Amino acid sequence: MFYREAGDFKTSYATDNQTFPIKFDRLGYFTVMAVAFLVIPFIINDYWANAIFLPFLIYAIAALGLNILVGYCGQVSLGTGGFMAVGAYACYKLMTSMPEVNIFFHVLISGGITGLVCVIFGLPSLRIKGFYLAVATLAAQFFLVWLFNRVPWFYNYSASGQINAPERTVFGIPVTGPNTEAWATYLFCLVFVVVSALIARNLTRGMAGRKWMAIRDMDIAAEIIGVNPLKAKISAFAVSGFFVGVSGALFFSVYLGAVEVGEAFGINKSFLVLFMIIIGGLGSIFGSFAGAAFLVLLPVVLKVVGVDWLGWPTDIVAHLQLVIVGGLIILFLILEPHGLAQLWRVTKQKLRLWPFPH
């Protein structure tokens, strides 16, 4: 009825190449942006920010990053938790050693540092492929977590071994530390998410993204037609590392505030982000958001239904959650290997004809 291409004429290259070629999509996108920037900040409270919005936004950035590596470039990584830890610790060191610089730049630089670390651990990908690489990235996960645990310089020799985010402000409004307001932290993360999504979207439909996809689909063939595998793989690791690092920095400084590395950035975090992109959709920007939203909401919903309504003990609900997540992963891989994003695409195709299917 509403979802139509008919009458939507493209008269210039710019309109032909835009991200949302269908008018209805464009309207939807602007509505979402308007709600996110102009409505939610006024009605958000601490519970909603901490339980849903902040984790969703931060995981969405991590999922975007991992999706570039796994979904677009085909290099499976199980080291996301370790790389998020690099972002967090880089951010902490920057915040404490250069307090006069704005936190905004700290987060960006932490992303850059994580990108570099990611490239170092990505170098073996030139020789190691498939599962071997997946297991090799586990080396990054365990080594990095161990490093941040054992070398006191990283946590400024604090007695507890934890890192705590000091108070930092943007335009005079605190975004980290104990005295933050829900709307400020929310907006701060939202800006990063929107910019990341824009960058990711434009990278993946340009030259870089096409090279990554060529490598993913068949690396030898890609090499023969002139894609430099070194550059393609390393750039994928770097970009992915940047996003993951930004998300790790935000996760520590804005969301948690205090971090113990083994707990916050353990191997489970790596799997969580990997599951987000499998459920959301490998090789899709929308999928990263959908997967992050799904896996952030699922525990909250289960807790509300299981613990608050049915009165079950929390440990049973936690176990049930594992069963459900595992089952869903398998179900998605069997029924729809391209995840929620593909379901959305199929729905849109159906909508184009609806309600007159001929």
Partner 1 sequence: MPEQLVFAMEVFLNGLMAGVLYALVALGFVLIYKASGIFNFAQGVMALFAAMTLVGIQKGQVPFSHLINAVLGTHIHHFGWHVHSLLAILLTVGVMIFLAWAVQKFVFRHLVGQEPIILFMATIGLAYFLEGFADLMWGSEIKTLDVCLTANACLPQGINLAIDEATYNWFGYGFFIDNLDITATIVAIILVSALVIFSQYTKQGRAMRAVADDHQAALSVGISLNFIWVLVWSVAGFVALVAGIMWGAKSGVQFSLSLIALKALPVLMLGGFTSIPGAIVGGLIIGVGEKMFEFLIGPMVGGATENWFAYVLALVFLVFRPQGLFGEKIIERV
The stretches of the chain forming alpha helices (DSSP H) are 13-16, 23-34, 40-43, 46-48, 54-66, 80-97, 103-122, 130-150, 182-204, 207-217, 219-224, 229-250, 261-264, 267-280, 285-302, 314-335, 339-353
CA distance 125 to 133: 6
Distance CA 251, CA 264 (A): 9
Min CB(214)–partner 1 separation in Å: 12
159 binds partner 1 (CB under 8 A): no
The count of residues in the chain is: 358
Is 22 a residue that touches partner 1 (CB under 8 A)? no
320 binds partner 1 (CB under 8 A): yes
Quick check: 313 binds partner 1 (CB under 8 A)? yes
DSSP string, 261-290: HHHHSSHHHHHHHHHHHHHH-TT-HHHHHH
Q: How far is the CB of 70 from partner 1 (least distance, A)?
A: 9
Q: Of 128 and 297, which CB lies nearer to partner 1 in the complex structure?
A: 128
If the CB atoms of residues 14 and 225 are measured against partner 1, the closer one turns out to be 225
For partner 1, give the closer residue by CB, 148 or 252. 148
Q: Whose CA is closest to 190, among 27, 38, 18?
A: 38
Confirm or reject binding of residue 127 to partner 1 (CB under 8 A). Answer: yes
Pick the closer one to partner 1 by CB: 169 or 321.
321
Sign of CA dihedral 80, 86, 87, 92: positive
Q: Does 132 bind partner 1 (CB under 8 A)?
A: yes
Q: How many residues bind partner 1 (CB under 8 A)?
A: 52
Rounded Cα gap, residues 292 and 49, in angstroms? 15
Q: Least separation, in Å, of the C-beta of 270 and partner 1?
A: 10
CB 133 within 8 A of CB 75: yes
Residue 191 in contact with partner 1, rule: CB under 8 A = no
Of the candidate residues 16, 226, 334, 356, the single one contacting partner 1 (CB under 8 A):
334
The binder of partner 1 chosen from 27, 230, 301, 333 (CB under 8 A): 333
Between CA 286 and CA 180 the distance in angstroms is: 30
228 scored as a contact of partner 1 (CB under 8 A): no
Please give the Cα distance from 166 to 175 (Å, whole number): 10
Binding piece for partner 1, criterion CB under 8 A, among 89-97, 103-111, 220-228, 240-248: 220-228
**Residues in contact with partner 1, shown as a per-residue x/- string from 255 to 274 under the rule CB under 8 A:** ------------x---x--x
Q: Please report whether residue 298 would count as binding partner 1 according to CB under 8 A.
A: no
Burial status of residue 292 (CB atoms within 10 A of its CB: 0-12, 13-18, 19 or more)? buried
Does 220 engage in binding with partner 1 (CB under 8 A)? yes
List of residues contacting partner 1 (CB under 8 A): 74, 76, 124, 127-132, 134-136, 138-139, 141-143, 145-146, 149-151, 218, 220-221, 224, 267, 271, 274-275, 278, 310-313, 315-316, 319-330, 333-334, 337
